[in-house]
Amino acid sequence: MNPNPILIAGPCVIESMDVLDTVAQELVRLNRKFGTDIIFKASFDKANRTSIHSYRGPGLEKGLQMLSDIKSRYGLRLLTDIHESWQAQPVGEVVDVLQIPAFLCRQTDLLVAAAQTGKTVNVKKAQFLSGQDMQFPVQKVRESGNEQVWLTERGNIYGYNNLVVDFRNISDMHQWTDTVIMDCTHSVQRPGAAGGKTGGNREFIPSMALAAKAFGADGYFFEVHPDPDHALSDGPNMLVLTDLERVVASLIES
């Protein structure tokens, strides 16, 4: 069991500097309290929203500036996702971890471009793949010259508008990398189940984290927000920011 798990937390999408500052301040407080190193996560563009009318974010240029400001002010490491290969180079100049979205984890050009930045590449397992299948995205990153590759479990498609987590995937993915993360918030999504938006069941997030710990996860990913019921993306499956401390404590103190 990893006594110092990787912790990733932040809002789904960049909404405003006020939200980013509020979350960053809480992460700094938790880092000091628990002696952790929580990586700050937020997306500059959510290119895979259910509806064309949904909020996507401020875009690459403004979003990277806002993330850079968070790093400068609070000294937090950063993670954000990319959707197109041309985004890898400018994003890699700002963040510490480039994330490959689940639906794009087989996109060779995207994986190669992320690998070539020299930054850690966190590849989310697609909802339609098994843990065994993830050997091939890892191979693409490594054969592009980058050994720093993580894999993230986030559930599998289970009929319509639902996901289920097979925690055996954590063990299976450990065959291909030493670092397997549990995405505790996207795994409780109800994709497209809220009338043009994604629904979710945030009450299961703490249990998802503890179950993943039992299966040997090396880290945990939480999307958090001060007021998720009014968030602009993924609100139903985001953890309330004030609940993060309790969940983190359960993972590092038990």
One digit per residue, pLDDT tens: the chain, 254 residues? 456 899 999 999 999 999 999 999 999 999 999 999 999 999 999 888 777 888 899 999 999 999 999 999 999 999 999 999 999 999 999 999 999 999 999 999 999 999 999 999 999 999 999 999 999 999 999 999 999 999 999 999 988 878 899 999 999 999 999 999 999 998 897 765 445 545 667 899 999 999 999 999 999 999 999 999 999 987 888 999 999 999 999 999 76
Contacts 24+ apart (CB under 8 A), 65-69: 66/14, 66/17, 66/20, 67/14, 67/20, 67/40, 67/42, 67/94, 67/95, 68/94, 69/17, 69/20
User: Cβ of 195: how many Cβ atoms within 10 Å?
Assistant: 8
Amino acid at 67: L
Got the DSSP string for 73-103?
Answer: HH---EEEE-SSGGGHHHHHTT-SEEEE-GG
* Predicted TM-score (pTM) of this structure: 0.93
